[in-house]
Structures are given as structure tokens and as C-alpha cells.
């Protein structure tokens, strides 16, 4: 059984819910861009929902396929009528369900809270709204919500917490969390960016001559100074770049009032290595100011060519 909404069948206002969609190469398809099929509340033969073009949530476990202009979130966690309604991401203060973190960010308003449910979310999230993004609560070392990808925080006042973040790729300098906006950052003196209680474990790029960082804060020459960042109670480990540089935390250029508190940075490996470094950039020959680093453990910061440095202030333009 499958559903389609096209000119041939005249599918205006088509709805499909409480269906058990199983064994279909494509369960629902809609190529009519002027009309959306409401297909929420269905069982797609997987608790991870349907297989879709942009696979983000538990992507290896997704069920029957959906194509085109179809709204499918929330879905059922088991066949109807026993399955419960589930969305992998919610805006908790609004109650809306979303298939991806990015979709929730795009729909969020100022100071909304976005909850990413337990499971693996595979996406690079661009955060352009002042929101709190949280994974589900876990133990100190185990976080049930995993992000395979990165957060790029582009605005002030954002909080990211309770995630396990891994990021491996081959296209550019790679981070778990990047704070900055090459298009121009706008600082709000009354707000602070917070990155707290995350496990950033496994940042590695296969591209030659790019650096890997757990957390990277960088200003550019066409925006405000980044003023006010709290990096607290994170575990940052397995940051590795075998033929180049790697950093647990890198602060770069015109950033100010940075507090790095009670983090554990361990197993950072590469040609040259810093646990925490403060340095200028090629665009701004300014070293970060008012950096407060307290109660952190830095262990096994080891380099293959140069000597590993736990905490360093650099003056080179392109330090690790």
C-alpha cells in the first residue's frame, strides 16, 4: 500500500494517519510543491520513522521511505493503535515536533528551548537564533543524545548542553562546536554563550592540512567582538589529526571574557597540539583577552613532531 498526492489523483488536503506502513519501497510520495500531505501519526515500520532524503535521526534504522512534500513528524513508535506519538526533536515551550535539530532551530524563536531526544542525530547544525539546545539528561560521562556532526553557534545567548558530539569528515577544519560567524557576528552585552555538560569525543578530519578542534571560538574582521562565553563541565577527548594540528579548545582573535571551567581535556594528538590555546588569526592579529581557565584537567596532550602543550598563548597566525 502506498499513498501519493499528484495532479493525477488530485490530492488536495490529503491526510493519512494511524496507518501501518510496512514493506513499501516508498510509502508516501508527494511531488506537488503547492500542497503538503499531512502524514503524521503513522507507523513506518521503524521507531526511527520513515527513511527520508535528509537522514538525520537514527538514520541506519529508518523505515519505509517518504518522498517530497510530506509532513511525517511526529510518527508512531509501534504499529497503530498501540504505538505512541514520537518526535526526535521538540521545542519544549511550544510543544512542536521536528524531524531534525536544524528544523527546530529554523522554527524557534528567541529564548526557546529545543530538546533533542536520545538517539543519534546526524547533522551539522547552524544556530542562528538565541535558543537553548539540550540533549536528554545523562550521567557525567554518558549522554544519550548523540550528535554526529557539529554545532555552529552564530549568535549570542545560545546554550548547548547534554550532548555527546562526534565529528569526522574530510572537507575542512573540523570542530565539535564552533562559535563565530564569518558573515559577521553581533554581540549582545547582556548575553553569554554557554557550552556546558557535553562529551565531545572523537573529532578527526581526513583532509590534509586542516586542524581539528573540540571547541573553537573565533572572531572575524567584519563583525563584533565575541564577548562572553562559558565553557563548563565538558569532557573533550580523542581530538586527533595525525598529519597536522589539533586543539581541545581554541580561542582565536578578537574574543573577550571567556571562562573555561571544570572541563576534562584528554587524548589530544597530532603534529602540534594544545589542550587549550589562545591565539590570533590571519584576519585579526589580536590575542583573546580576559581568558579565565580554572579547575580543568588536561591529560595526554601529546604531539608527534613538536611538544604537546596543555595551555598556551600563541602569536603565530596559524597555530594548532
The residue ranges that bind other proteins (CB under 8 A) are 140-141, 233, 235, 237, 262, 264, 266, 275-276, 278, 287-288, 291-303, 307-316
Minimum separation from the CB atom of position 257 to other proteins (A): 12
Rg (CA), the chain: 22
In angstroms, give the least distance from the CB of 277 to other proteins: 9
DSSP string, 50-65: -B-SS--BSGGG--SE
Nearest-approach distance from CB 172 to other proteins, in angstroms? 26
User: For 101, phi and psi rounded to 5 degrees?
Assistant: -65, -40
3-state helix/strand/coil string of 158-172: CEEECCEEEEEECCC
CB of 296 to other proteins, least distance (A): 5
Residues 205, 79: Cα–Cα separation, whole Å = 41
Nearer to other proteins, 92 or 304 (CB): 304
- Distance (Å) of CA 168 to CA 18, 98, 198: 38, 25, 17
Nearer to other proteins, 190 or 315 (CB): 315
Indicate the residue among 12 and 315 with the shorter CB distance to other proteins. 315
Cβ pair 37, 14 in contact under 8 A: yes
Q: Which is nearer to other proteins, 30 or 234 (CB)?
A: 234
Nearer Cβ to other proteins, position 26 or 262?
A: 262
CB of 237 to other proteins, least distance (A): 7
Amino acid at each position: 500500500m502506498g499513498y501519493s498526492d499528484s495532479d493525477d489523483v488530485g490530492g488536495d488536503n490529503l491526510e493519512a494517519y494511524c496507518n501501518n506502513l510496512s514493506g513499501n519501497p516508498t510509502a508516501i510520495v508527494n511531488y506537488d510543491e503547492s500542497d503538503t500531505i499531512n502524514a503524521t501519526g503513522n507507523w513506518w515500520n521503524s521507531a526511527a520513522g520513515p527513511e527520508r532524503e535528509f537522514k538525520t535521526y537514527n538514520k541506519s534504522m529508518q523505515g519505509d521511505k517518504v518522498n517530497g512534500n510530506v509532513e511525517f513528524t511526529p510518527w508512531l513508535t509501534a504499529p497503530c493503535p498501540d504505538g505512541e506519538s514520537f518526535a526526535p526533536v521538540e521545542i519544549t515551550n511550544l510543544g512542536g515536533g521536528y524531524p531534525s535539530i536544524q528544523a527546530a532551530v529554523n522554527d524557534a524563536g528567541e529564548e526557546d528551548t529545543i530538546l533533542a531526544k536520545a538517539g543519534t542525530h546526524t547533522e551539522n547544525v547552524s544556530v542562528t537564533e538565541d535558543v537553548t539546545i539540550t540533549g536528554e539528561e545523562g550521567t557525567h560521562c554518558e549522554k544519550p543524545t548523540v550528535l554526529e556532526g557539529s554545532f555552529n553557534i552564530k549568535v549570542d545567548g545560545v546554550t548547548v548542553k547534554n550532548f555527546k558530539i562526534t565529528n569526522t569528515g574530510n572537507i575542512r577544519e573540523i570542530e565539535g562546536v564552533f562559535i563565530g560567524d564569518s558573515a559577521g557576528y553581533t554581540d549582545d552585552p547582556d548575553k553569554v554563550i554557554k557550552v556546558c555538560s557535553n562529551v565531545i569525543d572523537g573529532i578527526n578530519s581526513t583532509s590534509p592540512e586542516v586542524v581539528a578542534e573540540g571547541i573553537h571560538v573565533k572572531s572575524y574582521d567584519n563583525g563584533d567582538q565575541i564577548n562572553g562565553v562559558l565553557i563548563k563541565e565538558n569532557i573533550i577527548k580523542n581530538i586527533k589529526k595525525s598529519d597536522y594540528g589539533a586543539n581541545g579548545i581554541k580561542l582565536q582573535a578578537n574574543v573577550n571574557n571567556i571562562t573555561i571551567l571544570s572541563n576534562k581535556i584528554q587524548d589530544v594528538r597530532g603534529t602540534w597540539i594544545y589542550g587549550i590555546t589562545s591565539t590570533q588569526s590571519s584576519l585579526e592579529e589580536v590575542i583573546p583577552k580576559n581568558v579565565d581557565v580554572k579547575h580543568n584537567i588536561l591529560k595526554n596532550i601529546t604531539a608527534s613532531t613538536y611538544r604537546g602543550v596543555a595551555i598556551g598563548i600563541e602569536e603565530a597566525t596559524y597555530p594548532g
